[in-house]
Each structure stands twice: as C-alpha cells, then as structure tokens.
Amino acid sequence: MTNPDTTLAFAHPEERAIASAPADPRDRISLRDHVVCADIGAFQQERGHGQRLRFNVVVEVRPAPEPLDDDVDRILSYDRITEAISAELAAERLNLLETLAARVAERILAEPQAMRVFVRIEKLDRGPGALGVEIARSRASVPVQAGEGQETLHPVVAWLSNDVIAAPDLPARLDRLEASGAPVILAVGLPEGAVPVSGQKPTQRRIDLLAIEQNAWVLAARDPRCVVVATRTEIDWAMRRRQMVVWAPSKIVLDAVDGPKGAVRDGVALALWLAEQMAALRLELHGDVSAPAGSRVPVVPVAA
C-alpha cells in the first residue's frame, strides 16, 4: 500500500495545499511548470553556466473584495508570482535553491492578499531526473522587525496559570519578564469553573476561545501593563515598542491558515502554537503544568 505522506510529498504543491487546508479553506492561485534559465549552484562546475529551473508555486489568498468588477487591480495577479521569481534571480547569484525559495516566498508574502505560499524549485539539468526543494511559508511566520532594515524581534511568550494570575507576587513576576528586554506576550488558559458545552466541535471551539479571552481580561485587571490585544497588527505594534500584551486568541486562531491542530481548550498547546508562529525566543510556563513535547521553540517551566 502506498504511504499517503509519500504520495503527498511528491505531489504538486497544490495538492499539498489542499491536504493541509483548514475546515474553511482559502482561495488559491497557482503557477505550474514555469521554467527559466539561471546561473545558480554551489559547485564550481555550475558557475558561469545557465541551467533550467522549474518553478511550481501555490499561493493561498484572502477572498477578493466585493464587488470584484472584473478588475485585475483587486486581486493578486499571476504576474506578481513570476515577477517575484525574476526579481530574486536578478538580485544576486545564489548557491542554494533553499535560499532562492525562501526569498521568493518572502517577496510573495509581502503582497497584502497573500496568506500562505508553497514554492517548489527543481533543477532540470543536474541529473537523470529533477532535483529540487519545496518549502511552505505563511504570513504568520514572517518575523517582526523593529523598523525598516533593523533587527528582527523575537518575543518571550509566557503562559500563566490561574493560580499565578491570582497570586500576590504577579507584579514581581511581570517585572522579571520585563527585565529580559525582549517583547513579552502573555497567554492564559480557560478560567476556573465550568465552560458551556455545545456538543459541536466548531461552536465549542469558539466558546472555548471566548472563555480564554474572558480570562485574559481577568489578568488585565490585575496589572495595568497587561493590555489585551486580538490581532497580529496589535501584537507587532506592541513588540516594536517593547510593550507587554495579553493575547486574546479568537481572531488570530480562527483566521489562521495553519491553525492549532488540537483542542483550543488546551491553553499550553495554544500558547506553544503562538510561540512558534511568532518565532519566539522561548515559551515560559508559569505554574504547575507539564511542558509539551516536540516544540520548535525552547520551553522553560517557571515555578508558581
């Protein structure tokens, strides 16, 4: 029997985009089998010799604004994809397809409509078959910069248990987080007490997210530094100003192309997902809770 993961790995990026789409998938545009000649490669015999590169690109986009009026200026044009490829090939000679793919993806994600991009690049002249790389990047994973051409900002995400939120030493704990010098994003879980149960997964997801947001406001009432934010724009703005914020997760989670896979009522897993999306320095767990396995960012338990 064929392994479905293997089949998907060698399928067109559009099939991979479909397979990993959320329950409410976004629109997609694609560029297939776009072949250009370029001087690229790390080996000496590749230098000064053009070779064919084949590009396959899929871009998940925001829904086009209504009314569309058959106006090309209201959509992400296919030309933007080919222009991104041409611009990066013209910028400088590169050794690695990985570098080229990442730069093409970053340029495409700079377009306001683009939310997630799959880029596959293959060398057609280096062997008996096609040799290549494939990457996936989302807007959420683009790091925040302090300003144009300045340093990339990596926050500390700190999950606070209900006991920590209620503890008298909360201000001192926040002082220590501030003293790190990194932007701080606070995350919380469900509040104490029963949360309504709907019996339906989509509605329960929203109920749990709203309950977490109620707990975020409880934290905000405990210290004036804890400003509740709901959008990536608000988080980015606060990070650039080194301001402490409390994450209200509903909008970001529900709008995410690659949202959390598990139940959102698991506040630690939700905080870990945010930390990975924000390329955080670390996830601090303040309270009596187990650290999750398989994290792409360091997880640091902090005693209650």
Give strand pairing partners of 160: 188, 286
For residues 216 and 251, the answer to whether their CB atoms sit within 8 Å is no
Nearest to 34 by CA among 151, 120, 110: 120
Cα(297)–Cα(244) distance, rounded to whole angstroms?
20
Angle (CA) 221 227 230, round 5°: 115
What is the predicted pLDDT for the residue at 56? 93
Residues of the chain under the 50 pLDDT cut: 1-2, 6, 23
What is the predicted pLDDT for the residue at 158? 97
What is the predicted pLDDT for the residue at 2? 47
Torsion angle in degrees (nearest 10) through CA of 207, 209, 214, 215 = 130
User: What tokens were used for 23?
Assistant: 């329950």
Cα(31)–Cα(72) distance, rounded to whole angstroms?
17
158 phi and psi, to 5 degrees? -120, 120
Tokens 């301001």 belong to 243
Strands 245-247 and 184-188: parallel
Helix boundaries (H) for the chain:
4-9, 13-19, 78-91, 97-109, 162-166, 170-179, 201-222, 232-240, 250-255, 267-277
Give strand pairing partners of 169: none
Per-residue pLDDT tens over the stretch 223-254: 999 999 998 889 988 888 888 999 999 988 88
User: What tokens were used for 51?
Assistant: 């070779």
- As assigned by CATH, the class of the 156-302 domain is alpha beta
Helix boundaries (H) for 68-161:
78-91, 97-109
Residues 168-177 as b or e (16 or more Cβ within 10 Å = b): eebeebbeeb
Which residues make Cβ contacts (< 8 Å) with residue 84, sequence separation at least 6?
A: 104, 107, 108
Cα(246)–Cα(224) distance, rounded to whole angstroms?
11
For residues 119 and 55, the answer to whether their CB atoms sit within 8 Å is yes
User: What tokens were used for 126?
Assistant: 């280096």
Q: What percent of the residues of the chain are helix, what percent strand, and what percent coil, each to the nearest 5?
A: 35, 25, 40
Domain ranges of the chain: 11-138, 156-302
Cα(88)–Cα(98) distance, rounded to whole angstroms?
12
What is the predicted pLDDT for the residue at 138? 78
Angle between helices 78-91 and 97-109 (to 10 degrees): 130
Cα(263)–Cα(189) distance, rounded to whole angstroms?
12
pTM exceeds 0.75 for this model: no
Give the N- to C-terminal CA distance of the chain in Å, as an integer.
50
User: Taking the domain 11-138, which CATH number applies?
Assistant: 3.30.1130.10
User: What tokens were used for 156?
Assistant: 């500390």
